[in-house]
Structure formats: C-alpha cells, structure tokens
Amino acid sequence: MNGASNQMDITATTPQLPSSADRMAGMDHAEVRYFTSYDHHGIHEEMLKDDVRTRSYRDAIYQNRHIFKDKVVLDVGCGTGILSMFAVRAGAKHVIGVDMSSIIEKARQIVAVNGMADKITLLQGKMEEVQLPFPKVDIIISEWMGYFLLYESMLDTVLYARDNYLVPDGKIFPDKATVYLAAIEDGEYKDDKIGFWDNVWGFNYSPMKDVALTEPLVDTVELKALVTDPCPVLTIDLYTVTTADLAFTVPFRLTAKRNDFIHAIIAWFDIDFTACHKKIRFSTGPHAKYTHWKQTVFYIREVLTIEENESVTGFLENKPNEKNKRDLDIKISYTFETEDETRAAQGSSLEVKWDCITKMQRNAHLRAFISDQARNVNFIGKKRGRKEPKRKGLQALGEMA
C-alpha cells in the first residue's frame, strides 16, 4: 500500500497551542459539558478498568502487528493515550492522538514517562479543526461507542477522519458494530422504579411516572431475565456508513422462548475488528462479561403476557436530537398479535428524548461500575417473586413510553 508512512517525517515538538478555555469559548453549553466531562480521571479510570473493552483493543492491535508495522496511525478521541501506546508497541511508525479534553495534558505526561514521546504526537482540539502533521494516515483507531452504541458517541467524528485523512485501502479499528434488542421480565424492579410514583407518601405522583418512563435506564440485565431471543436490528460498517445513516427506522421481531411476562425492551451492541487476519469481537450483552456500557433498558407502560413462540414485532426509530446531536430521540413502536384477544397489544411509543449525561450522572455510573465489578453483582431481572400482571384488553395495552 502506498501509505501515509512514506509521505512525511515529523519531530516530536508540540507547538504552543491555545488553552482549553480558549478552545471552548465559541462552543454551546452542551458541547462544553460533553468535552469537560472527560477532563477528570474518573471517567478514564472507568474505561481503563473495563477489561473487556481495553483487552479487546489491545488484542486486536497486538495480534495484527503486521498491519501496524511502520504505519501512521490516527487515534480519534485518544483520552489518556492507551490505544496510541498499544499501536506504538505494535510497531507503528508514528501515532497522532487527537482529543478535545484537557486530559490530553496528562496523556502527554503518560506518553513521556513510557518513553514514547518521539513516536506519539498529541493534539488538543476538535478533529474537524486540528491540523495533522501528516496529510494522510494508514490506520484509524478509536473507542467511539456510547451507551446504546450511539448515545453521546463520536462516530460522526470518526467518519470525518475517515473521509479526510484515511488513505485508500486504509484500516479502521474497530470497523463493525451491531445493535441487538430483546424483551425481558423485570416486574419487581419496574415496580420499584416506575410504580413507586403511583403512591408517594399517600400522594399521587403520576406526572413523575410519565417522566420516568421516558428515561432509558443504563444497567446490567441478567441473562435469565430475557424472555425472547435476541434480534439484531442494525449493523454499522465503518467503511461505508454516513452520518445520514445514523438517523434510522429499523424493524424487529422478538420471539418468546418461554411463557412469561414482558416489562421492558433492552438494547446492547457487539463490536467487531474484522479488517485483519486475527479477528476480535466483544459484546456488551447480558450473555457476556460485564462492561461499563452495560445494557439500555426501555420500560413499557403496561405488561405483556406472552407464550412460547409468540412474537412481538415493531420498529425502532432513532435520530440525533435537533438541538444537540449527541443526544438521541428514540421511539419504539410494537404489535403483539395472539389468538387470545385479552393478551393482544398494539401501540406506539412516546419519543424518548435521551439528554446528555451530566457530570454527576457520569460519576454515578462510574461508582456503580467499579462497585459492581468488586461485588460481581447484576441488578436487573432477578427472579424475586413475580407479581401477576393485570390482564387488560387490546386498547389498554401496548403503549410504550
């Protein structure tokens, strides 16, 4: 390959650049909040301690040293520089790490104390605005995924780097992502989270219940809670996907594997490194080892009573929020058809507007992740004595919030 590694040499000198405050002066509040949430060590501790995540990237890079040898690599959203250093150890000629967060100042120190300052150039700024020391790169590496794959993700930034800097036949690590849906039984937890608002110290707090139903829950689901088989609903190929593709409506069919109740629909994703000889895959699903992404839970308003081999069909609609592209507007509509009309349901969801996670919420996820790892505890879907659901007719069932 006539790669970027043959085009230009650089020194390790980093020019004097504007401060973080100066860089963010022109950004709106949501963008500033997003980038500054990565300024603190806690979120990076969370990601580095995620064994599945970090080991998968390391293995994908180390087990394909022949691909990285003497190549120029771009690390999009480099954080503390762990992927950049993996690439250097795999034989990369030079790595360029780009990150808007001020954590890059610590990354420079980390790179230096590991003796890689001559091999790694770290640039603070937006990918769309920084000037790279190479006109093209051979490989792009990035850990861009968010909750539900796309929430707060920086996939559009990776696509910008691909379109503007990757050489023809260049490699992207990882290069494929697949989103799955399944339905779960989770009566007790739903009662605790949603039903709580029906009677709060003797008062009707139902307006809060509506709000609670529109907020996805990021938590861990036990495998035994799954009532249906998983259904792959979306596959993203990073070589061909466009930003326009990130607004989508896709069908699903969830087929029950036993008689049970359905209280929620959950989502997770798998990640593949396929553009290499030693292929690597990891999953964030309930069947796999715990990751900081956990699973995303969407509670439905009513309870479905389903029998083995019956199916819930519907559509998952996702689009970036018009005001803040890192937020998501999600809608799930479904139909449950059965010969028993007392159990049939057809409904359309209210839109779930998933707003940007605040620093406090992010720290709460961090504490939960580290605590869960220490205790090896799963929360969602434990069989704690089911309560018989109220069986209602077609018109009352099926509304998803």
Give DSSP secondary structure letters for 74-101.
Answer: EEET-TTSHHHHHHHHTT-SEEEEEESS
Distance between CA 387 and CA 396 in Å, rounded? 19
Q: Which residue has the higher pLDDT, 343 or 290?
A: 290
% of the chain with per-residue pLDDT over 70: 75
Confirm whether 4-173 and 177-375 share one CATH topology.
no
* Higher pLDDT among residues 30 and 56, named by residue: 56
Confidence of residue 302 (pLDDT cuts 50, 70, 90): confident
Query: Residue 375: which pLDDT band, with cuts at 50, 70 and 90?
Result: very low
- Confidence band (pLDDT; 50, 70, 90) for 354? low
Is 302 a known active-site residue? Answer: no
Q: Where do the domains of the chain lie?
A: 4-173, 177-375
Domain 4-173 listed as CATH 3.30.750.200: no
Q: Is 129 a catalytic residue?
A: no
Instruction: Measure the CA–CA gap between 60 and 54, rounded to whole angstroms.
Output: 10
What single letter denotes the amino acid at residue 173? Answer: F
Interacting residues of 109 by C-beta distance below 8 A, sequence separation 6+: none
Q: How many angstroms separate the Cα of 23 from the Cα of each of 124, 241, 322, 375, 381?
A: 9, 29, 23, 41, 45
The residue among 331 and 270 whose pLDDT is bigger is 270
pLDDT tens for each residue of 66-110 = 999 999 999 999 999 999 999 999 999 999 999 999 899 999 999
Burial class (CB in 10 A: 0-12, 13-18, 19+), 323: exposed
Mean pLDDT for all residues in the chain? 82
Instruction: Choose, from 31, 105, 143, 317, the residue flagged as catalytic.
Output: 143
46, 152, 185, 310: which one is catalytic?
152
Distances (CA, A) of 388 to 1, 188, 327: 64, 11, 36
Amino acid symbol at 178: T
What CATH number is given for 177-375 in this structure?
A: 2.70.160.11
**pLDDT grade for 401, boundaries at 50, 70 and 90:** very low
Reported as a single tens digit per residue, the pLDDT across 181-197 is: 999 999 988 988 888 99
In order, the DSSP letters of 214-252 are TS-EEE-B-GGGB-B--EEEEEEETTT--GGGGSEEEEE
